[in-house]
Amino acid sequence: MGGIGKYAFTRLLLTIPMLFILLTLVFIILRVMPGNPCLSMLGGRNAPQSAIDRCIKQYDLNKPLYLQYFQYLGNIARGNFGTSIRTGRPVVKDVFDRFPATFELAIFSMLIAILIGMFTGIFASTHSDRLADHSLRIFNIVSFAMPIYWVGLMAQLIFAVKLGILPVGGRLEPITAAYFHPITKFYVLDSILQKNWGLLIEVLKHLFLPALTLGLVQSGFLGRISRSSMLEVLDKDYVTTARSKGLRERIVIYQHALKNALIPIVTISGLQFALLLGGAILTETTFSWPGLARYLLRSIDARDFFALQGTIVFFAIFISTVNLIVDVIYSLIDPRVKY
């Protein structure tokens, strides 16, 4: 096993105690929080006491906390995340039904964030201390500071209400969704696999506004990092040497400077991708996007212990995987990095 293989294996082993600590903290916090999931599910204190007692017994909420804790750890070890109190379905099934929507939104949002962020950052760095530089710096600061829900509402107002060219929310029109049979539940991929180009256009129309909203807000920070990284690289001796050889400025920037400038950009992009999951909660709520973040929010409202625990653990595993992939890409970009 090579150096990168050993590093990846070590990181996977370190994920186990991290998940154990996270599970413990989430378990304790949820039990300390006020509220009863059975009361939430049955409609409040007006529900019959017999129904409440049956619900509490069904989900073992009447057992001592330490027994609930060890029982839950045992279920997790067997891959059983429990049954959602709110939906009545296995949490694993709920998570995997909704994850494709969130992942699809995150991927397209990240692409938009990278395109806008890197373009504005690189362009500003090559026009340092000019009007374009100052304008793009202000743009990046403003875009990063804007609340996601406000950007989403403005996008809906402009493109959906005023212009009427894009849908206001959801993944598909209700009529289309009734007859659509997804294969992977990644709608963009499914429409391509089925060679249904009309469906693909409709999917992209529904995806565009939420992805643009989330990507635009994230692009501001990437733009500032891209600008700083490029300015630092452009002052290096090898860039000066390349220019002194008479190479065109485009070749100097994109073939000599950009690759080294990408190292911090890739690292930040990986962290930003993990943060997208947090921003997705507001975006999915604003655009009625049926993803995992919205499922998590509804589970919080319902005090759904099992759904919350399962979703948070899934997020933790996903973020750890993303960070590991970023580290591997980092070593491929910079050969000096050894593990």
pLDDT tens-digit profile of 74-96?
888 887 888 888 888 888 899 88
pLDDT average, residue stretch 197-214: 92
Q: Give per-residue pLDDT as tens, 134-148.
A: 888 888 888 888 888
Between 193-202, 290-299, 319-328, the lowest mean confidence (pLDDT) is in 319-328
Share of the chain above pLDDT 70, in %: 92
- Tracing tokens 């304008």 back to the chain, one arrives at 135
Give the other-Cβ count within 10 Å of 83's Cβ.
Answer: 20
pLDDT average, residue stretch 261-274: 77
Identify whether the C-beta of residue 104 lies closer than 8 Å to the C-beta of residue 186: yes
Tell me which CATH homologous superfamily contains domain 95-333. MetI-like (1.10.3720.10)
Residue 228 to residue 233: CA distance in whole angstroms: 9
Q: Give per-residue pLDDT as tens, 148-187.
A: 888 889 999 999 899 989 998 888 888 888 888 888 889 9
Question: Among 125, 316, 318, 127, which residue's Cα sits nearest to residue 229?
Answer: 125
Domain boundaries, the chain: 35-80, 95-333
Q: Give per-residue pLDDT as tens, 97-126.
A: 998 998 899 889 989 998 998 888 888 888
Residue 330 confidence (pLDDT) above 80:
no
What does the pLDDT read at residue 209? 92
Measured CA angle at 91 (ends 87, 27), to 5 deg: 105
